[in-house]
Amino acid sequence: MPDPHSLSRWLILIGLALAGAGAVVWLLGRTGITLGRLPGDLRFSVGSGSCFLPIATSLILSLILTVLLNLILRVLHK
């Protein structure tokens, strides 16, 4: 069983990361850049059913998160 002190620290960090991600999405929405409506996001509707594939949004978020994670790891390991 993990140490309660380290577990609480991880939960706080995860909560702060989620709050930060929410703030970024909110700020992007206020600037007019809405995630999920980028060119390259596919939306299909057939009758009463629909399917949404956010390909462009997934690629952009993956690129941004990869760069941020690499920067954070480089700073922490110096």
E strand or H helix at 32: none
What per-residue confidence (pLDDT) applies to 29? 80
What's the pLDDT tens digit per position in 55-73?
998 998 899 889 988 988 8
| pLDDT above 70 as % of the chain | 96
Distance CA 23, CA 15 (A): 12
Using alpha carbons, list the distances in angstroms from residue 19 to 26, 40, 58, 60.
10, 27, 19, 19
Q: What is the pTM of this model?
A: 0.58
Cβ atoms of 41 and 52 closer than 8 Å? yes
Residue 50 DSSP label: E
Reported in sequence order, the residue ranges of the chain that DSSP labels E, i.e. its strands, are 42-46, 49-53
